[in-house]
């Protein structure tokens, strides 16, 4: 870990807290208030969204946008879009026909608090509003920028992105996956949204493809660190600490980098990747310090 | 019916067939070919899309775009977007936790042909790619036009549009709905996508809000005629003719304009609305003849 910057996690946690608070204000503003005969759908959307959570993807959008002096209102709208999209994926993943989880962020999952049909529809509605938020002129005065955000998010979240990863994950317990397949699964299922979150900052800042590519590389590695530590927690932590069921990967016979390399091997791999993530940020100055602190912070997380 | 144009249904059917064929070529082009570890998701998307169907919404896009001399390639891309979005709504509506249908367009529904998890994901992927298609520069050279299409489709399909209608429909069997509630349900659940289909032509043609409003009014009424005749078929037709289960509304105790006004009353109401739909097209010349023929054609449909 000696090439990683020292543990300035207090500032990181403060910045994450600020981003979380600000994106929640934006979410409060952009999500419909419950009204009409169909008010139950708005209630379910809000139940799923306002359940706490780290708001890691919004933090990435805000931090990466900050590298290019993007107007914070715009960054927060893009951050809100990625958070509603991420939340839809959780609501659908928790369904009985998918991962069948009763607990999420320490509370009943949406299909438990409401019902399955409402959870399917609330997920659909969150996915839909993500694009509505991005396409709105308040997100950026340039329609070209807004279209690029829409197209890139659709690609990252679609059948060759996050949904493709979820499809592979559904088969993972039946298949003898090696490290390459496990990494592909993770880069699709969780990595693609991290990539979009970071790229969105460069797109909003009209910073050019070199910056977009660099931040995508950072996000790819940061996402792998996130996923490996998630898999480590699944093996080493308790439901009390993580607020969700643990030990599920092993129960379902799913291959992860932890099951393939062991706890020590996976942790060592994660440290190597974390160093590479930080190195990708070399052209940026102190304004990238929080992004630099994130991978080592993730390595030490307990939930 | 005497104010409706004569039964020039041969030309209408030919135009619908041409639009269906052309939009299917576009769909073939824009949908991913099955590939990779996640190829099953592409197979499920294609299974749901290439199942026949009238392609009524694409026909509306193409015809309305034709009023403003829109490049046909652009109109067909918007038409493909609305068709994949419509198909996602069918795939999710058919799920066991929703309408629990085994049969769709005469074939097993997606969750029967694949499995529930794959059907949820395929629906999600179809919804996502709808926005990807619209945001792509091939759909229109003006990013402003593309953003307006994305924003309008998200609104029409979202929690205050189609999904809101589906939410109300989930409660309809438990509630004593009157005509106002039934019409609201239908204008949200099916009407909003018809409205988008027609408005898309005006947006693509940069025709101004007056045309957009006029075509929305046409679509609103055309959609009601479509829905009332659908409800009539549910009462009077057979599964053999419609390719899906019939008699479900009554079995589920759902209020429809047919259950409220009786078969004759609902048919008379549909004829009145069809006349109004045709009247909305008065500023247009012979290029709107197919749109004029559609409402009376729907009144006489048997499937």
B244 pLDDT more than 90: no
Please indicate, yes or no, if residue A112 is contained in any of the structural domains. Answer: yes
* pLDDT of B276: 97
CA-based nearest distance A154→chain B, Å: 5
* pLDDT of A3: 42
Please indicate, yes or no, if residue A2 is contained in any of the structural domains. Answer: no
A44 pLDDT more than 50: yes
Distance CA B40, CA B55 (A): 24
pLDDT tens, position by position, B88-127: 999 999 999 999 999 988 899 999 999 999 999 999 999 9
Q: Who has greater pLDDT, A8 or A192?
A: A192
pLDDT tens, position by position, B225-236: 999 998 899 888
Q: Tokens 């030990």 sit at which residue?
A: A247
Please indicate, yes or no, if residue A88 is contained in any of the structural domains. Answer: yes
* CA within 13 Å, CB half, B31: 29
* pLDDT of B2: 38
Mean pLDDT of chain A: 92
Angstrom CA distances, A150 to A85, B148, B193, stand at 12, 12, 20
* pLDDT of A237: 73
Sort out which chain B residues have CB atoms less than 8 A from A144's CB and list them.
Answer: 143
Distance CA B219, CA B213 (A): 10
Region A158-180 average pLDDT: 88
* pLDDT of A174: 60
CATH number at residue A294: 1.10.600.10
pLDDT tens, position by position, A289-301: 999 999 999 998 8
A207 pLDDT more than 70: yes
A48: confidence class by pLDDT, cuts 50, 70, 90 = very high
Radius of gyration of chain B, Cα coordinates, nearest whole angstrom:
18
Q: Which residues contact B49 (CB under 8 A, 6 or more apart)?
A: B27, B31, B83, B84, B87, B126
Cβ within 8 Å, pair A38-B143: no
* pLDDT of B198: 98
Question: Which of A117, A139, A144, A156 has the highest number of chain B CBs within 10 A, making it the mutation to test binding with B?
Answer: A117
B223 CB within 8 Å of a chain A CB: no
CA-based nearest distance A265→chain B, Å: 26
Q: Is B84 helix (H, G, I), strand (E, B) or coil?
A: helix
B19 pLDDT more than 80: yes
* pLDDT of B249: 65
Please indicate, yes or no, if residue A4 is contained in any of the structural domains. Answer: no
* CA within 13 Å, CB half, A221: 23
* pLDDT of A1: 38
Cβ within 8 Å, pair A128-B167: no
**Residue in B closest to A43 by C-alpha:** B159
B179 CB within 8 Å of a chain A CB: no
* pLDDT of A56: 96
* pLDDT of A2: 38
B258 close to B266: Cβ distance less than 8 angstroms: yes
C-alpha closest to that of B157 among A125, A86, A14, A202: A125
Question: Which of B163, B178, B189 has the highest number of chain A CBs within 10 A, making it the mutation to test binding with A?
Answer: B163
pTM of the complete model:
0.94
Angstrom CA distances, B302 to A279, B226, B238, B240, B254, stand at 66, 12, 10, 11, 21
Please indicate, yes or no, if residue A78 is contained in any of the structural domains. Answer: yes
Distance CA B143, CA A146 (A): 8
Question: Which of A150, A182, A191 has the highest number of chain B CBs within 10 A, making it the mutation to test binding with B?
Answer: A150
A247: confidence class by pLDDT, cuts 50, 70, 90 = low
**Residue in B closest to A130 by C-alpha:** B154
Show the tokens assigned to B266. Answer: 């609902």
Q: Who has greater pLDDT, A65 or A175?
A: A65
B115 CB within 8 Å of a chain A CB: yes
CA-based nearest distance B288→chain A, Å: 31
Please indicate, yes or no, if residue A271 is contained in any of the structural domains. Answer: yes
Distance CA A11, CA B271 (A): 68
Instruction: Give the whole-number percent of chain B exceeding pLDDT 90.
Output: 79
Q: Who has greater pLDDT, B257 or A292?
A: A292
C-alpha closest to that of A74 among A151, A28, A22: A22
Q: Strands B103-104, B107-108: parallel, antiparallel or unpaired by DSSP?
A: antiparallel
Q: Who has greater pLDDT, B282 or B182?
A: B282
B246 pLDDT more than 70: no
Region B25-37 average pLDDT: 97
Cβ within 8 Å, pair A128-B42: no
- Tell me which residue range forms the domain holding A65: 9-299
Cβ within 8 Å, pair B128-A158: yes
Q: Tokens 């039934």 sit at which residue?
A: B182
Angstrom CA distances, B248 to A86, A114, B24, B182, B256, stand at 35, 24, 30, 16, 11
C-alpha closest to that of A24 among A54, A67, A60: A54
Instruction: Give the whole-number percent of chain B exceeding pLDDT 70.
Output: 91
A138 CB within 8 Å of a chain B CB: no
Region A233-238 average pLDDT: 81
Number of structural domains in chain B: 1
* pLDDT of B3: 42
ipTM of the complex: 0.93
Q: Who has greater pLDDT, B77 or B234?
A: B77
B148 pLDDT more than 70: yes
B150 pLDDT more than 70: yes
The phi, psi pair for A108, rounded to 5°, reads -60, 140
A159: confidence class by pLDDT, cuts 50, 70, 90 = very high
A235 close to A258: Cβ distance less than 8 angstroms: yes
* pLDDT of A106: 87
Q: Who has greater pLDDT, A174 or B24?
A: B24
CA-based nearest distance B117→chain A, Å: 5
B253: confidence class by pLDDT, cuts 50, 70, 90 = confident
| 3-state per-residue secondary structure call for B147-165 | HHHHHHHHHHHCCCCHHHH
* pLDDT of B81: 98
Q: Who has greater pLDDT, B179 or B62?
A: B62
Please indicate, yes or no, if residue A19 is contained in any of the structural domains. Answer: yes
A203 CB within 8 Å of a chain B CB: no
Cβ within 8 Å, pair A158-B125: yes
B167: confidence class by pLDDT, cuts 50, 70, 90 = very high
Please indicate, yes or no, if residue B34 is contained in any of the structural domains. Answer: yes
A26 pLDDT more than 90: yes
Q: Which residues contact A282 (CB under 8 A, 6 or more apart)?
A: none
Cβ within 8 Å, pair B98-A118: no
Q: Who has greater pLDDT, A7 or A40?
A: A40
The phi, psi pair for B208, rounded to 5°, reads 95, 160
> What are the percentages of helix, strand and coil residues in chain A, rounded to 5?
70, 0, 25
A235 C-beta neighbours (distance < 10 Å), count:
16
CA-based nearest distance A225→chain B, Å: 23
21-50 in chain B: CB under 8 A from chain A: 32, 36-38, 40-42, 45
Q: Which residues contact B123 (CB under 8 A, 6 or more apart)?
A: A124, B48, B88, B89, B91, B92, B110
B109 close to B117: Cβ distance less than 8 angstroms: no
B294 C-beta neighbours (distance < 10 Å), count:
25
């Amino acid at each position: 870990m000696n090439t990683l910057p020292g543990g300035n996690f207090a500032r990181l946690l403060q910045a994450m807290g600020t981003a979380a608070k600000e994106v929640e204000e934006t979410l409060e503003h952009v999500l419909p208030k419950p009204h009409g005969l169909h008010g139950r759908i708005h209630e379910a959307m809000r139940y799923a969204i306002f359940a706490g959570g780290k708001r890691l993807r919004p933090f990435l959008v805000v931090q990466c946008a900050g590298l290019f002096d993007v107007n914070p209102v715009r960054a927060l709208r893009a951050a809100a879009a990625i958070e509603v999209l991420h939340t839809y994926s959780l609501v659908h993943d928790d369904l009985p026909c998918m991962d069948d989880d009763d607990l999420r962020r320490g509370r009943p999952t949406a299909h438990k608090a409401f019902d399955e049909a409402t959870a399917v529809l609330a997920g659909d509605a969150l996915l839909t509003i993500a694009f509505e938020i991005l396409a709105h002129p308040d997100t950026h005065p340039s329609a070209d920028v807004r279209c690029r955000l829409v197209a890139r998010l659709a690609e990252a979240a679609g059948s060759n992105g996050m949904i493709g990863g979820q499809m592979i994950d559904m088969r993972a317990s039946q298949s003898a996956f090696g490290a390459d397949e496990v990494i592909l699964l993770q880069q699709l299922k969780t990595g693609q949204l991290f990539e979009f979150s970071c790229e969105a900052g460069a797109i909003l800042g009209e910073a050019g493809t070199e910056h977009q590519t660099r931040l995508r590389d950072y996000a790819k590695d940061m996402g792998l660190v996130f996923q490996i530590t998630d898999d480590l927690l699944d093996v080493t932590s308790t439901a009390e600490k993580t607020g969700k069921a643990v030990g599920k990967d092993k129960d379902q016979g799913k291959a992860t980098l932890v099951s393939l390399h062991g706890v020590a091997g996976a942790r060592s791999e994660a440290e190597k990747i974390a160093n590479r993530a930080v190195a990708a940020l070399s052209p940026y100055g102190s304004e990238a310090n929080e992004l630099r602190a994130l991978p080592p912070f993730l390595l030490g997380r307990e939930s």
